[in-house]
Amino acid sequence: MGGKQAAFVFLVLAAGNAAHATDEPPLDMAPSSQWVVDYADDSCALRRAFEAGEERATLELRQFSPGDGFRVSVVSDTMARTRSGLRVRFEPDEGWFEPVAPLLLSYDSHDKRQGVLYSDTLRPNAGKGSNGYTPPLPAAARDAREAAITGLTLSGVFDREVTLRTGRLAAPMSAMRTCLDELLTHWGLDAEVQRTLSRGVKPIDQMAWAQRVQSGFPSEMLRRGLSGAVQIRLIVDAEGKPTSCQVQLEISQPEFEEHACRTTMRYARFEPALDANGNPVASYFTSAIVYQAFR
């Protein structure tokens, strides 16, 4: 995509209230499966299971469009969850990154898994923006970074610090990019044109329509104290008009999904993407919208 496409995170009613983690010793978890590539209808994901003794966890890295940004989810059906303020780092980094508005995950009474969902990139912490997004690294720097990473450490989601020994990420991330190229074709876009854009889709007066989205927390969901996260993808034509909205990650109530697409289609406006020769072309815009109710 020529490093020009951005992903934006809109936050709706950020929550507070944190409990403190216990003094359990750190847990080092080894892989218990190979990496699996998930070719979903509107996203691509890498998934791997980990274990240490009787403790189990599953890591997923999911991308909704080409670039550096992805959604991370870590869930476990054996470890107790805490709410002490999430901090993460890719090994062997030393500093911590604090993701914006991580979403705590719980399932139903028959599914004991608990965990967290948040946005991140593979960049070193010093190179990340405040919402986990910065323009993609050049290919050589990207490949070197993927080859250097050996694990992911999380603090503040389970009752102890947890390190998932992922192994080097060069081969898994290469498989992810192959999946993403196929995804663009599925959307009716030319992958080569999208890789060589001189400019990606550019929001017009983004703060104005973001506020429209933020001000519209669905009333029934707010009354019930429910939170949710919606990942959407807009197809934007050569005139800068969104022509379709697709929910890319269905992890929330339908009311959140309907509101996210309806409000962005109504209010979002863009300057169109430009191909390598500077001509307007159809492209896409992705956004994560997090609805988080105060408790």
- Tens of pLDDT, residue by residue over 50-92, are 999 999 999 999 998 888 889 899 999 999 887 778 999 999 9
pLDDT at 260 over 60: yes
Any idea which of 91-100, 133-142, 212-221, 236-245 has the lowest mean pLDDT? Answer: 212-221
What does the pLDDT read at residue 137? 79
CA atoms within 13 A on the CB side of 81: 21
Q: Which long-range contacts (CB under 8 A, 24 or more apart) does 138-146 make?
A: 138/3, 142/68, 143/170, 146/122, 146/170, 146/173
Between 157 and 259, the more confident residue is 157
Average pLDDT over residues 17-45: 82
Q: How confident is the model at residue 100 (pLDDT cuts 50, 70, 90)?
A: confident
- Bridge partner list, 27: 162
Average pLDDT over residues 214-241: 73
Query: What is the dihedral angle through the alpha carbons of 268, 274, 275, 279, rounded to the nearest 10 degrees?
Result: 120
CA proximity to 65, closest of 119, 21, 125, 138: 119
CA proximity to 295, closest of 78, 54, 17, 72: 17
What does the pLDDT read at residue 221? 54
Average pLDDT over residues 6-34: 61
In angstroms, rounded to a whole number, what is the distance separating the alpha carbons of residues 106 and 70? 20
Indicate the fold that domain 191-291 takes in CATH.
TolA/TonB C-terminal domain (3.30.2420)
Residue carrying structure tokens 């009311």: 255
Instruction: Kindly report the average pLDDT of the chain as a whole number.
Output: 82
Q: How confident is the model at residue 251 (pLDDT cuts 50, 70, 90)?
A: low
Residue carrying structure tokens 């062997």: 92
Between 7 and 150, the more confident residue is 150
In angstroms, rounded to a whole number, what is the distance separating the alpha carbons of residues 136 and 195? 12
The pair phi, psi for residue 235, each rounded to 5°, is -95, 125
What does the pLDDT read at residue 21? 45
CA proximity to 227, closest of 135, 164, 289: 289
Percent pLDDT > 90 in the chain is: 49
Q: How confident is the model at residue 216 (pLDDT cuts 50, 70, 90)?
A: low
What does the pLDDT read at residue 69? 87
pLDDT at 293 over 60: no
pLDDT at 3 over 60: no
Residue 274 contacts residue 194 (beta carbons within 8 Å): no
Residue carrying structure tokens 């936050």: 11
What does the pLDDT read at residue 55? 96
What does the pLDDT read at residue 205? 85
Average pLDDT over residues 86-106: 89
What does the pLDDT read at residue 227? 56
Percent pLDDT > 70 in the chain is: 77
pLDDT at 8 over 80: no
Domain with CATH 3.30.2420.10 in the chain: 191-291
Provide the residue type at 63 as one letter: Q
What does the pLDDT read at residue 225? 56
Q: How confident is the model at residue 190 (pLDDT cuts 50, 70, 90)?
A: very high
Query: What is the dihedral angle through the alpha carbons of 217, 76, 92, 9, rounded to the nearest 10 degrees?
Result: -10
